[in-house]
Amino acid sequence: MKTVNGKAVEPRPLRLADLSGVQGVFTDVDGTLTTGHKLRSQTVRSLEQLSASGLRVVLVSGRPAGWGEAWARQLPVDGVVVENGGLFFLKDARGKLRKVYLEPPAQRVANRQRLEKEVERVLAQVPGARLSVDSRYTEVDLAVDYNEEARLGDEGASRIESLLRARGVTAVRSSVHVNCWLGRFDKLSASRRFAKVAWGEKLDPADGRYVYAGDSFNDAPMFQAFKLGVGVANVRAVLDRIDAPPAFITRAPEGRGFEELARALLARRRTTRSRSRGVST
């Protein structure tokens, strides 16, 4: 965990966050929007309400491109970053879905071929390790299942990460998978590129215009960059090991924690609009 003057930085309660300037939300999916690996109707409703209020919503996940395309078409979101930043989806001015990669075609092909070989070698060294069922729908990264259908625990996940990193592969776990890839990208670099392509903006996570919600190790680059980094309560399980903790934390875990964040954002938005109309609250 990040320390200041030798002391661990403990996330502050969400109620202390200044949400007055927020224009949008970037959010992880597994363990942040999902609850018990399922997407609750109440959580989808929170996404709908955020979007209807005029807030931008972007999903940022380690899940495969196949999932990202479905989410971009079916959920009330402005875009979807997937495969830990390897690519993203957005809708153009005509409403047509567009896919953008972070790296050029030749590099993707070379990296993919090497990645598959490196991951195969590591899987052979860890009993019970296997690719996630949905890895077949990936284009850039691969995912080793440790906590979705497999049960390898923290020890197994740590061994997989260590072996992959020793072979020059970026490896970082979400709440369900050890995601691994070759290439100079992550959730943060892809989110910056998304903002530039989709909105023509330079994303400055420190200016308080965007919130990031997450729960696990692969959210650390976002937590470190975002002034309004919010961990749902289950992030406490990894706070002693994560490279950068969130600035704030919800009371509730998983999807209920995101719903808590959505309620806070919507309440603040209503208050701001009332004041702009000169209505006492």
Name the residue among 104, 109, 74 with its Cα closest to residue 89.
74
Under the banding of pLDDT at 50, 70 and 90, the label for residue 15 is very high
**189 shares a domain with 163:** no
Name the average pLDDT for the chain.
Answer: 93
In this prediction, residue 191 carries a pLDDT of 98
* Of 181, 208, 228, the domain-final residue: 181
CATH number for the domain that contains residue 96: 3.40.50.1000
Q: Which helix (H) or strand (E) holds 118?
A: helix 105-123
**141 shares a domain with 74:** no
110 has pLDDT over 50: yes
In this prediction, residue 269 carries a pLDDT of 87
Q: Which residues 6+ apart lie within 8 Å of 100 measured at CB?
A: 87, 88, 89, 90, 193, 194, 197
In this prediction, residue 104 carries a pLDDT of 96
Q: In what order do the strands lie in the sheet with 24-27?
A: 12-13, 248-249, 228-231, 210-214, 24-27, 56-60, 79-82, 87-91, 97-101
In this prediction, residue 270 carries a pLDDT of 82
**226 shares a domain with 109:** no
* Of 181, 214, 244, the domain-final residue: 181
Q: Is residue 257 part of a domain?
A: yes
Tokens linked to 204: 């400055």
Under the banding of pLDDT at 50, 70 and 90, the label for residue 279 is low
56 has pLDDT over 50: yes
In this prediction, residue 281 carries a pLDDT of 45
**196 shares a domain with 73:** yes
How many structural domains does the chain have? Answer: 2
**97 shares a domain with 224:** yes
User: Span 27-51, mean pLDDT?
Assistant: 97
**199 shares a domain with 158:** no
Instruction: Return d(Cα 258, Cα 261) in angstroms, integer.
Output: 5
Under the banding of pLDDT at 50, 70 and 90, the label for residue 121 is very high
**191 shares a domain with 74:** yes
Phi–psi pair at 241, nearest 5 degrees: -130, -10
Percent of the chain whose pLDDT exceeds 70 = 94
Tokens linked to 180: 């691994």
- Pairwise pLDDT comparison (129 vs 2), residue with the higher score: 129
134 has pLDDT over 60: yes
278 has pLDDT over 80: no
**41 shares a domain with 152:** no
**122 shares a domain with 91:** no
In this prediction, residue 5 carries a pLDDT of 40
Q: Which of 89-98, 110-119, 171-180, 223-232 has the lowest mean pLDDT?
A: 89-98
**222 shares a domain with 177:** no
CATH number for the domain that contains residue 148: 3.90.1070.10
Q: What is the pTM of this model?
A: 0.92
In tens, the pLDDT along 74-87 reads 999 999 999 999 99
Under the banding of pLDDT at 50, 70 and 90, the label for residue 94 is confident
Q: Is residue 1 part of a domain?
A: no
**223 shares a domain with 127:** no
**165 shares a domain with 112:** yes
In tens, the pLDDT along 141-188 reads 999 999 999 999 999 999 999 999 999 999 999 989 999 999 999 999
Range of the domain at 269: 11-101+185-273
User: Span 56-67, mean pLDDT?
Assistant: 97
